[in-house]
A and B are shown apart, each in its own frame.
Chain A
Amino acid sequence: DGGITQSPKYLFRKEGQNVTLSCEQNLNHDAMYWYRQDPGQGLRLIYYSQIVNDFQKGDIAEGYSVSREKKESFPLTVTSAQKNPTAFYLCASSPAQGNTGELFFGEGSRLTVL
């Protein structure tokens, strides 16, 4: 089945550690996104990529990094510079550059800092 797979679903991190969240899609979509969701708030864009080997900062990129070496993969690293990383992280994709249509989401990864 086509879709977006995020892993791990739950992740615990000690302060000062970097962690990487995985996002893989087999929808052949060009664009991929990372969002952060906090309780009672809407989604906030961290990074997005419209094409392989290119990505752009979103509204809250500080303390995060990404790579887009393959079309199918868009991993997100939460670095120790991110001061409040506990949140629900959502990866999404869409078919084409400049697409104004729907986003397809993964099931999310919940990160908790201990």
Chain B
Amino acid sequence: SQQGEEDPQALSIQEGENATMNCSYKTSINNLQWYRQNSGRGLVHLILIRSNEREKHSGRLRVTLDTSKKSSSLLITASRAADTASYFCATVKDSNYQLIWGAGTKLIIKP
């Protein structure tokens, strides 16, 4: 069953701009993860944020988590053409280690 829902479904911006994607979920979680998928390829893990964390950084990535609103956001700063990909959030429930996936945001960076 799907829990995470990404918003927007698609996003097209100019190179150099910031890109923000959102993820909402329905149940309590242990952690939330963001993955990236280039077209026709496997997924690559980007960042994991635990339920007791509010913000996390990794290079040009910034992830926030608001457990009261059951939502997370992924910010990519100073976007590059190579950031063009689909981005997925996945949640891990408290009592179940299985990941539950959203449908993804397709990000296009225009050079």
Residues of chain A having any CB pair with chain B under 8 Å: 4, 6, 40-45, 48, 58-59, 88, 90, 92, 98-108, 110
Contact = CB atoms under 8 A, between A and B. Distances in A.
Contacts of A106: 42
Contacts of B103: 40-42
Nearest to A6: B42
Nearest to B99: A103
Contact of B101 (A42, A101, A108, A110): A42
A43 B42 contact: no
Contact of A101 (B2, B4, B48, B88): B48
Interface in B46-92: 48, 88, 90, 92
25 contacts: A6-B42, A40-B9, A41-B103, A42-B4, A42-B101, A42-B102, A42-B103, A42-B104, A43-B43, A43-B88, A43-B90, A44-B101, A58-B98, A59-B1, A90-B42, A100-B30, A100-B31, A102-B33, A103-B35, A103-B45, A105-B43, A105-B44, A107-B42, A108-B40, A108-B41
Contact of B98 (A4, A6, A48): A48
Interface string B10-36: 000000000000000000001101010
A42 B31 CA distance: 18
A6 B33 CA distance: 23
A88 B38 CA distance: 13
Contact of B48 (A6, A98, A102): A102
A103 B104 contact: no
A107 B30 contact: no
Nearest to B3: A42
Contacts of A107: 41-42
B40 A104 contact: no
